Structure 1
Amino acid sequence: MEKIDDLAALIARHAPVDGAIETAIDGLGLLRSSAATEPVHTLYEPSCCIVAQGRKRAVVGGRAYQYDPSNYLVVGLDLPVIGAVIEASAQKPYLSVRLPLNREALAEMLMHDPTKSVRGEERASHAIAVEAATPHLIDAAARLLHLLDAPDDVLALAPLIEREILYRLLRGPQADMLRQIAYRTGRISRIQKAVAFIREHFTEEFAIDDLAAVADMSVSTFHAQFKEATHMSPLRFRAQIRLQEARRLMLVEGLGAAEAGFRVGYGSPSQFSREYGRLFSAPPRRDAVKRKALAFA
C-alpha cells in the first residue's frame, strides 16, 4: 500500500482542485474529484489510466468497466465512453493519472523484444480492459510524477520513465492489445484507421464496405472485429460520435436541437430526437436545459 499511497499523495498535491489537470509532462494528465459525479459522455483516446484513490466506472457500448486503487484502465482505440466517478469524498477524493499510449515507442520497443509474437493477429481483441497494477508499474508512475517537482529533469528523464511504463504494460495481460496498436497490420491498429475515418466523416453517409476497405478487411471480418473491439457496431459508433457532438453544439454554441441534429448529419429531426433520448435519457431540448442549469448551479 505504500507505493499507491505515495502516488495518491503526489496526485493530490499536483491536482489541488477538482477537475482534469494537464501537467508539464507532455500527455500526462491528472484527475481529481471530491464527490461522485453524474455520467459524462466523452471520448477516450488510447491511454493508460491508473487509479490511486476512489473508484470510477466507464461504460462502452453497454458494457461497464470499474477500476479502483491499484488497477489500471487501458484503452487501445478512440472510444466514446460514458464515465462516472462512483466513489469519492472531500476526505478521500478520487485521484488518477493518465498517460497516452505512444504507438511509435511501443513499436520501437517490440523491435528489440525477444519474446514478441504475432498472437494479436490471430484473434479478436477488446480495445478496453481493466487489469491489476503491479508495484513496479505504480512505482514508475510515482517517479514520473516526482519529476513535476524537478522541471529541469523532465526533458531528459520523462521519456525514459514513460518507456518503462510501456514496458511494464507489455509484460502485463494486455500485451496482445498493445502489440496490435504498435503494428500497423494489427487488428486494433486497422480498426483504429476505420475509427479515424468515422471521426473525420461522421456527418456524412457511408457504407460498411467503405469502412472495411479503410481497415483492409473483408466486410464480415471487419464488422465482427469492430464489434469485438468496441462493443458496438460501426453505425452505432458513428451515432454516438454524432450525438456527443450535437450535445456540445447545443451546450457550448447555443444551437437549437433541430439545427444541431442537422449539423451532425441527421436529416430527420424525429430520428435525431429518438436516438438522442436513448443515449442521454432525455430528449434534446430537455437535456440541454438540464445541463445548462447544472452548469450554473
Structure 2
Amino acid sequence: MGSLAELMQSYVDLKSLNDFDGVTSTSIRGVHFYRDSQGNTRQPLVYQSGIIAIGQGYKRIYLGDQSVRYGAGDYVVVGVPMPLECEAFPEDGLPIMGISINVAPKTLHNLVNQLADQPLHQENEYSKSQAALNLGLKSECVNEALDECFKRLLLVLHDEVDSKVLGASIVEEIIYRVLMGKHGHVLFDLAKHDGHYARIAKVLDRLHADYANQITVESLAEQANMSLSGFHRAFRQVTTETPLQYLKKVRLNKAKELIVSEGKRASDAAILVGYTSPSQFSREFKRHFNATPKSLAG
C-alpha cells in the first residue's frame, strides 16, 4: 500500500498539485488536503476543529505557555477552533503534506451513543481530572489501526467513485479510532451537551459566525447558561483566552485573510470584521501579526 507520505504524493501527482501550496477540499465531504513547500516562521492563526494527520514534514503549535510538535506519524485532535501560533518545517527538501478531517456532530453523537454502554477507560480517566480541559488540542502517535485507516482514506481519494461510496465510512472509522485513543476524551466531551466543554464549543461556533456583530460577554454567558464568573473560568480552561481576547484574535485573523487573499483595503477589512475604529484596528493588527496591514497586502 505504501507509506502515508507516498500515498499523499501520489494524490498530488494525480490532482496536479505539485505547484500548489495551501489547503484544498477533496472529493470526500469534510476532508481537506494540505501542502506547503516553503514552511513558515512562527505566526498567529486560527486552527479549525477536527483531526489533522501529517504525512511529511512537521509543525509546532503554541497555545499560551504550552507547545505541541507533530509531524509524520502523528495526528492532532483539535476540539474547538483555537487562535494560536504555528511554525511549519519541510524536511529533506520535501513539502509538508497532511490531511484534516472535520468531525461532523451527527457522526460524533452516533458513535458516542453506540459506545455509551462500553467500559471506556479513556472517558473514565478523563472524568477524574478536569485538567484535561486546559488544552483543547492534543498530539498523539498514529497507531497501526489508525495508520491503516488514513492510508485507505488516501487510496479512495484517488478515485471519484471510491470516494463517493467508501469515503464517509472510512471517515467514521477514523473518528471512532480517535475516540478510542489516548486523547479521545476531547471528542467525547464535545458530545456531552450539558458539559462545560460542549457549552463553550457552541459559544465558539457563534463567535466564528457572528464575529462582525457586536457581542457581549454577558450574552455569551447567557447562551452557555452559566454565571458570568463560571463562564469566564470555563472559557479560559478551554481556550486559554478571555472571551474578548478570543474574539479579537478571530477578527484579526479574518481581517488578514480578507486583506491577503481577497485584496480588501485595511479600512474595509476592519469594518467587515467588526471594528469601528480604523486606528484601533491598525494598532491591534500590527501588535498581533508584527506587521502592518499594508505590508501584507498583495
The TM-score normalised by the length of structure 1 is 0.85
Deviation at 1:230, TM superposition (A): 1.4
Q: Equivalent residue for 1:178? A: 187
Deviation at 1:70, TM superposition (A): 1.2
Q: Equivalent residue for 1:123? A: 130
Q: Does 1:31 align with 2:40?
A: no
Aligned partners of 1:103, 1:115: CA distance in 2, in Å? 22
Aligned partners of 2:252, 2:233: CA distance in 1, in Å? 24
Q: Does 1:14 align with 2:11?
A: yes
Aligned partners of 2:56, 2:163: CA distance in 1, in Å? 25
Q: Does 1:207 align with 2:216?
A: yes
Q: Equivalent residue for 2:157? A: 148
Instruction: Name the SS of the counterpart of 1:35 in structure 2.
Output: coil
Match of 1:228 among 230, 237, 255: 237
| Partner AA of 1:163 in structure 2 | E
Deviation at 1:238, TM superposition (A): 0.8
Deviation at 1:63, TM superposition (A): 4.3
Say how many residue pairs are matched.
285
Kept after mapping to 2: 8 A contact 1:121/1:180? no
1:45-64 equivalent positions in 2, closer than 5 A: 45-61=48-64, 63-64=66-67
Aligned partners of 2:146, 2:287: CA distance in 1, in Å? 39
Aligned partners of 2:234, 2:294: CA distance in 1, in Å? 36
> CA 1:287–1:148 in structure 2 vs 1: closer, same or farther (change >3 Å)?
closer
> CA 1:264–1:8 in structure 2 vs 1: closer, same or farther (change >3 Å)?
same
Kept after mapping to 1: 8 A contact 2:259/2:296? no
> CA 1:127–1:206 in structure 2 vs 1: closer, same or farther (change >3 Å)?
same
Q: Equivalent residue for 1:258? A: 267
Aligned partners of 1:273, 1:13: CA distance in 2, in Å? 43
Kept after mapping to 2: 8 A contact 1:34/1:89? no
> CA 1:134–1:206 in structure 2 vs 1: closer, same or farther (change >3 Å)?
same
Q: Equivalent residue for 1:94? A: 96
> CA 1:140–1:209 in structure 2 vs 1: closer, same or farther (change >3 Å)?
same
1:231-250 equivalent positions in 2, closer than 5 A: 231-250=240-259
| Partner AA of 1:186 in structure 2 | G
Identity fraction in percent: 28
Q: Equivalent residue for 1:73? A: 76
Instruction: Name the SS of the counterpart of 2:130 in structure 1.
Output: coil
> CA 1:142–1:284 in structure 2 vs 1: closer, same or farther (change >3 Å)?
same
> CA 1:247–1:95 in structure 2 vs 1: closer, same or farther (change >3 Å)?
closer
Quick check: 248-257 or 138-147, which moved more? 248-257
| Partner AA of 1:140 in structure 2 | C
Kept after mapping to 2: 8 A contact 1:15/1:31? no
> CA 1:163–1:11 in structure 2 vs 1: closer, same or farther (change >3 Å)?
same
Q: Deviations over 1:16-56 (max 9, x none)?
A: 42322322122222222223234565433221111111111
Quick check: 154-163 or 248-257, which moved more? 248-257
Deviation at 1:255, TM superposition (A): 4.0
Kept after mapping to 1: 8 A contact 2:43/2:289? no
Deviation at 1:191, TM superposition (A): 0.8
Kept after mapping to 1: 8 A contact 2:79/2:137? yes
Q: Equivalent residue for 2:204? A: 195
Aligned partners of 2:220, 2:128: CA distance in 1, in Å? 19
Match of 1:139 among 138, 141, 148: 148
Kept after mapping to 1: 8 A contact 2:52/2:75? yes
The TM-score normalised by the length of structure 2 is 0.85
Q: What RMSD in Å do the two structures reach over aligned CA positions?
A: 2.5
Q: Does 1:284 align with 2:293?
A: yes
Instruction: Name the SS of the counterpart of 2:29 in structure 1.
Output: coil
Deviation at 1:263, TM superposition (A): 3.6
Q: Equivalent residue for 2:113? A: 111
Q: Where in structure 1 are there 5+ consecutive unaligned residues?
A: 293-297
Kept after mapping to 2: 8 A contact 1:23/1:30? yes
> CA 1:33–1:266 in structure 2 vs 1: closer, same or farther (change >3 Å)?
closer
> CA 1:156–1:260 in structure 2 vs 1: closer, same or farther (change >3 Å)?
closer
Deviation at 1:240, TM superposition (A): 1.1
Quick check: 203-212 or 163-172, which moved more? 203-212
